[in-house]
Structures are given as structure tokens and as C-alpha cells.
Amino acid sequence: MMQFEWPWLWLLLPLPWLLRRLLPPVPPRGDAALRVPFLEDFSVARGSPQHAAPLRWPLWVAAMAWLLLIAALTRPQWLGDAVELPVSGRDLMLAVDLSGSMEVEDFQWQGELVDRLVATKVVASRFIDRRMGDRLGLILFGQQAYLQTPLTFDRETVKQLLLESAIGLAGKETAIGDAIGLAVKRLRHHPVNSRVLILLTDGANTAGEVDPLKAAELAAEAKLKIYTIGIGADEMLVRSLFGTRRVNPSRDLDEKTLRAIADISGGRYFRARNMKEFEQIYQLLDELEPVDEEAQYFRPVHALYPWPLAAALLLALPPLWFYLRGNRP
């Protein structure tokens, strides 16, 4: 159906008629006689029947142009059929570690070694694409925690901002407790059974003002379920002057604390040692039960004002040309 966004502007329709009634007429110019050089123009001045009719059409055309102009100003819109939006009711926040240790290259993707942040971006981007109907948010943390994206249905924006993140952007250390505290603050006023935080880190809490376990208790009180993911391989080969040796790149990963955070908040701890395990973790997270909510509908709106506006401009040209032609010296 069609509707007008600003229907009250139809009140401007009689404005030209009111101006003609209320304002005094323009006095005739004294040099009018000098501006009629042809004999036929005298017959118009005398009211000759054969020239009286053409003088009325500019008025009617101008009136039609004014009508179309007012119609364009009211912003006519065409409302399409209602489309149901897929809404699960889940408010899901991602907290991604950007500390210096995330630059360790112990993941393989497409046959090449990549750092932990690249692996996180690859898998998390696919996860975001699948979260149709959920509201997603993004927290980036290092030495401090920042809300990069508030909760939104715009998955493309969340994914783009995740892909643009860089190691060290929030500092070189790791403030896990502050990241959880920020998530609690942002999700506190949202539906109780839909608050979920997915926290990804490869280290231990080394910065921040909030203890991670204390933050987990606050999350439990706020009914915020936390899923923690420990990132990093168990071993990798390192070349040195003394040859190749095996090292554990995840020796600083505090799995005990991450597991405790998940247990306190009612979530679950996962370990991602390679891309396959990473993908499996997100597939498990995809199986979270949605919270049933009332269906929401959206009506697509198509603006129609350009059509009457274009028609008004076209109709205004002949009367304008007639006026200029009749008044030129």
C-alpha cells in the first residue's frame, strides 16, 4: 500500500491562491506601451478572442506543477509485503585477545603457517556468518578492553571490524577480567536467558583491574554464560643455531583459570590446538539452544517522491518559458 511520510504538507496546497487573495496586485509598469511593438499584441491587450485562450493554459499547467510539487514534498512511499525477520533472541558477545602472544605462528591454514589472530579471524568470521537472527557484539582486549561493536543484527559490520583488528591494538598484555567485566556491563540489561560471551585468549591474565574469577562471579550473578576458548598448539618446531627443537608455544596458557571461568558462569571450556579443532568448537557453539521470542516483521519501503518531483519540474518549464518570453524587453 501507499502512505505519505509527511501528510501535513498537503496543507500548503492552497498557498498560491491565498497569496493571490491576500497580497495587493502588482501595479502596471509605466513603460508597458513601449514593450508592445507588434500589432497582434494590441489585440491581446484589447481582449481579442483568438488570443485570450492561450493565456489560460500556463495557469493550469503551473497549478498542476504545484500539485505535483506538494505531492513530492509529502514523501509518498510504497510499503511492500511484511517480511518475517529470523530472530532467535540470543545476545552473543565475542571477546578476542589482541595481546602480543597472538602473533605466534603455530596454526596452519591453506598450507601456510599463520599466527593465532589470523586463525581466529578465519574461523570466527565463518561463525559470525552463521549467526543469522542473533545480535552480535565485539570486544577487543589486550592490556585494556574495548567495546569495538555494540550488539547489532548487522553481522557484516561485526565481521569487518574483527578482520580489521590488529595485534597490539589494545596493548601487549592480557586483561581477561576487564574483558569479562565489560561484557557484563553491556549485557546486564538484556534478556536473562540469552546472554552469552565467547572469550578467546592464548595466555593468562597479566593486566587489568578486575580479577578473572571475580569477573566470572559477577557474570554468574548477571546470568551471563561464558564459553572460554584456549588458543595455541601444544608443540612446534623452532630452528636455532643449535638445530631444530620442539617447544610448547602454549606454556603461558592458563587453562585452569579459563576452565574455572566457564564453570562458575555455567559455560564450557574448549581447547583449540589447530584449525580443525577450532572449527569443531564453533560448530558446537552453533548448537546453543535459541530463546524463543515473538516474531518480528519488516516492511520494505520504496520512496516514490522522485516521480512527482520530476513531473513537477517538467511541467514548470513551459509556464516559465512563456513568462520569460512575454516579459523580455
CATH of domain 85-285: 3.40.50.410
Please say whether the dihedral angle defined by the alpha carbons of residues 299, 130, 192 and 224, taken in this order, is positive or negative: negative
Q: In what order do the strands lie in the sheet with 2-4?
A: 2-4, 76-79, 301-303
The single-letter DSSP state of residue 242 is T
Q: Are 178 and 209 in contact (CB under 8 A)?
A: yes
Higher pLDDT, 112 or 51: 112
Average pLDDT on 44-64 reads 61
- Cα 281 to Cα 178, 231, 249, distances in angstroms: 24, 11, 20
Indicate the pLDDT class of residue 51, thresholds 50, 70 and 90: very low
Question: Which tens digits make up the pLDDT trace of 56-91?
Answer: 777 788 788 888 888 888 988 888 777 665 555 678
> What are the residue ranges spanned by the domains of the chain?
2-81+299-327, 85-285
Q: Are 187 and 93 in contact (CB under 8 A)?
A: yes
Question: Which tens digits make up the pLDDT trace of 208-218?
Answer: 889 999 999 99
Question: Which tens digits make up the pLDDT trace of 250-302?
Answer: 788 889 999 999 999 999 999 988 888 888 888 888 776 554 455 566 677 88
Percent of the chain at pLDDT above 70?
Answer: 78
- Cα 176 to Cα 106, 118, 163, 186, distances in angstroms: 22, 20, 21, 16
- pLDDT, residue 66, reads 87
Q: Which of 19, 13, 58, 76 is nearest to 316 (CA)?
A: 58
Beta carbons within 8 Å of 276's beta carbon, 6+ residues apart: none
- pTM exceeding the 0.85 threshold for the entire prediction: no
